[in-house]
Chains A and B, each alone.
Chain A
Amino acid sequence: MKRPLVSLCIAFCLGIITAAYLKIPFLIFYLVTPLFLIFSIVFIKQSTKFSIFLLCAVFSLGATLLRNSQILPNCHIAKLVPYKSESSFLIGVIDNDPAYQDKSVSFILKAEKLKINETWAKSCGRVLIKVLGKNEFSYGDRLFLEGKLYRPFSFSKSGFNYKVYLKHQNIYLILSIKKDSSMVKQLDKNVGNPLKSFAFQMRHKMKDAIVKNLSCFSAGILNAIILGERQNLPPYVRDTLVYSGTVHIIAISGLHLGIVAFIILLILKIIRIPRKPRYILTILLLIIYCILTGANTPVIRATIMAAMLLFSYFLEREVNIYNSLSLAALIIVVINPWQLFEVSFQLSFLSVVSIVWLSPKIKSLFPARLDKIPWLRFLISIFSVSFSAWLGLLPLIAYYFRVLSPITILANMIIVPYMTVIVASGFSLALVGILIPSLTSIFAASNELFILILFKINSSLIAIPGAYFKLPSISFMYVLLYYILLISIFNFSKIPFRINCLK
């Protein structure tokens, strides 16, 4: 088997799903895993038996890790605070880049101490803090806060449950602080991770360069595309992107990371950095870019895959895309098994699987002679990629967003290649804004134009009759049935594909 990580990843994820839906205690899974491991060791020289026991061990390890993540330590703030809390006092360190909105700021605080009944208790866990009024905060600040602690409400909006969403980020409490700066005191500065601090400083500089030089409309879109910051993105722009099925362009993903990696490699080549150090330096810069954009699941996935690809170039070995995708998934779910149930995780991995698995098959349905004409070959390639991503994500998008957009295929064929221009020019603007501010006006004008064209293309596409349909809510059973059908058609049917799949 050339792709051992795929089976291990599937077994691990199945273990997580089993533990999430069956109420089996942690200790049972924990005691079963070593048993399978012992059998794997005993049968290490017999390929089939070893593989079966190894898969069982990985399955129960996945279940063990999920169960373990559900157990909170005794010092966890969620265990120390009763349901109804009056004013609470809390000391902790800011763990992310604070998000500023019109009249408030929110951030995640790593709790260190909590005051209960006149005594301070050492505590741990993450709390979402919402502060009303204008305050300046940065990553790594140690704060003393007074406010009302409460558990997030379980309201749902089109299938999205806020309480569950926060729980998947290990957040069980929210601290709300009203307009009074005396309730917030800064005790210390820069106590966070230096690499994260550096990444967030770079993010602020890039954001400043974008905001100062572009109109509000364009800056909102470019900040979302380059930095993954969507607070200032006009809601109607987001809606039009959802309808055309191109909303992924405002979520940092493989497309963005690929373009960024290409730009970095090009710059390092121009300044004559030797080939092997160039790859390592690019990996480091991509990790900084990943942190800078908030390290969401799609960007972590893309960073791990890009790092594996560049490392394979460094070692001069071939890389298997299914293996690197599985490794990325394993790393993400080992760190936080609940990510498996997040929409961004599912869409990100499924889109790559669909493209890698289906697009060569779809491409092979076209006559071979068309491949000889370069522009037609390009057109067939982007159609195959766009169509396979659409086929792969169609039921999930219908399930989560209740939209069916046939226009997605055409929209992605136009917008995805065009995104290269936007990301490259947006990055140039941000970098020039930091390094040579006097030159920014030229870059800003072209960026304004590119973003306007992007918006016009998107608006024109969704104006086509039948471009998208709003759907009623559908059962998850239909989603599963769709995938069974899709796999049957493309794997077991007698459609004469010229090539089987990407090796």
Chain B
Amino acid sequence: MFNLTQQERQVILFLIIVALVGAGINFLSKKYAPVKVLGSFTEDIGKIDLNKADRDLLMSIPGLGEKLTQRIIKYREQQAGFKEIEELKSIKGITDYKYERIKNYLILK
């Protein structure tokens, strides 16, 4: 298929290895760099972990005020965490309409 000389093949392989090692180092530096992170944001950019987020972080979601946030935290403590995001519907004050508004901001890790 590829009509390449031995030397050309070695050069291509070397370049791929360099790119791969570079991608690995880049991945590790992104994943484990010790930086002060606000709350528990996940890799899924900007989504908030429903089981880990603190009061302020939950309140940063459009549609969630102080009272609802307190109820969510209380429910989370009582039930030892959410198993599904849909459980939010069982909290007083979270109507179907409100649930549809906030569910896209949340994630369960």
Chain A residues near B38 (CB, 8 Å)?
80-82, 116-117, 121
Judging by beta carbons under 8 Å apart, are B33 and A75 in contact? yes
Whole-angstrom distance between the Cβ of A337 and the nearest chain B Cβ: 11
* Stretch from B41-49, B73-81, B82-90, B92-100 contacting the other chain: B41-49
**Using a CB–CB distance below 8 Å, which chain B residues touch chain A?**
1-4, 6, 8-10, 12-13, 16-17, 19-20, 23-24, 26-27, 29-31, 33-39, 41, 43, 45-46, 48, 56-57, 59-62, 105
Tell me, in angstroms, the Cα distance from A200 to B9 when the chains sit together.
40
Known A54-B12, A57-B16, A334-B19; judge A48-B30 contact (CB<8 A): no
Tell me, in angstroms, the Cα distance from A122 to B36 when the chains sit together.
8
Chain A residues near B31 (CB, 8 Å)?
71, 74
Judging by beta carbons under 8 Å apart, are B1 and A74 in contact? no
Judging by beta carbons under 8 Å apart, are B45 and A74 in contact? no
Judging by beta carbons under 8 Å apart, are A37 and B16 in contact? yes
A-B contact count (CB 8 A): 117
Chain B residues near A148 (CB, 8 Å)?
none
Judging by beta carbons under 8 Å apart, are B26 and A1 in contact? no
Chain B residues near A50 (CB, 8 Å)?
2, 9
* Chain A interface residue number, banded: 35 or more
Tell me, in angstroms, the Cα distance from A123 to B26 when the chains sit together.
16
Whole-angstrom distance between the Cβ of A303 and the nearest chain B Cβ: 21
**Using a CB–CB distance below 8 Å, which chain A residues touch chain B?**
1-2, 4, 7-8, 26, 30, 33-34, 37, 40-41, 44-45, 47-48, 50-52, 54, 57-58, 61, 64-65, 68, 71-75, 78-85, 116-117, 119, 121-123, 151, 172, 334
What would be 25 A-B contacts, judged by CB atoms less than 8 Å apart? A1-B1, A1-B3, A4-B3, A30-B24, A30-B27, A37-B13, A37-B20, A44-B10, A51-B1, A51-B2, A54-B13, A61-B19, A61-B23, A64-B20, A68-B26, A71-B43, A72-B45, A80-B38, A81-B38, A82-B38, A83-B105, A85-B60, A123-B35, A172-B45, A172-B46
